[in-house]
Amino acid sequence: MELEESIRNPGYKDADDGAPAADTSSSDTAERRDSTAADEYTQVKPYAGMPKEVLLLHSSKARYRVPREILFWLIVCCNLALVAVTITVIVMSPPCLRWWQISPVYQVYPRSFKDSDGDGVGDLKGIKEKLDHFLQLNIKAVWISPFYRSPMKDFGYDVEDFRDIDPLFGNMQDFEELLAEMHNKGVFLQRCGSGIIWFCVSLMTGCMYVVSPPGLKLIMDFIPNHTSDRHRWFNLSRTRDPHYKDYYVWTDCDPSSPKPNNWVCTCTAVSHSTG
């Protein structure tokens, strides 16, 4: 068997030379191979189904990263602006429906509604005894006809004092108790999630719905243009008090004098005292 002459590795050195052998050619070749592979790897263009390494390599480049960040923050700003505009529209918009537009109102004529003391005339205590009747009818507000102090020449519409209760219907304490009891009625029934429901409806419709506070509402039949000749305003106006003289229209009763207006009165069944 003949041995052919071997090819000597130029990077190899004998031990006799005083230095260990080193395969410099193989290391140089590996470095060139890695550099070439890296150069080829960086030149790969994006393609469908690319591995994660290639995707991360391209996504970190400025031309892809900057537009992505700009688009992200633009979407965030648009969402915040949309929320702010929605809240502003709901807060600033006028109420779509007020309580008196959506709530049934029950008018009570106190004289004939409920008599609590057996004198034949209805009173405020009688109204208080029947508050549950209003709740059963789903009534949200009660309108009570005039019960102010009055000589009763016009069934309470000839008011003598707007700040007092006529003894025929009770007294101020009876009124305060009635008012407090009305506000306490229905508190539990109207606390069961109605606020959340109305808020959701407001968001969907863009309107701010006004939710009336719990309890029954009391509407006073305030009639400042209906006063008795015993009212303080009338007497001060009759004496031509500077502050009250124009509260009423005065004219001379002489038939030859001009009339204050062309209104025709048809209320022939009602007579007022002039004394």
> What confidence tens digit (pLDDT) does each residue in 69-105 have?
999 999 999 999 999 999 988 888 776 777 888 889 9
Whole-angstrom distance, CA of residue 185 vs CA of residue 134: 10
Whole-angstrom distance, CA of residue 36 vs CA of residue 25: 16
Please name the residue that has the structure tokens 């062309």. 262
pTM: 0.53
pLDDT tens per residue across span 215-224:
889 999 999 8
Q: What are phi and psi of 271, to 5 degrees?
A: -120, 140
Q: Residue 213 CA to chain centroid, in angstroms?
A: 13
How many CA within 13 A on the CB side of residue 234?
A: 15
Instruction: Let me know: does 158 contact 272? Beta carbons within 8 Å.
Output: yes
pLDDT tens per residue across span 188-224:
434 333 444 444 444 444 444 444 456 889 999 999 8
Mean pLDDT (the chain) is 76
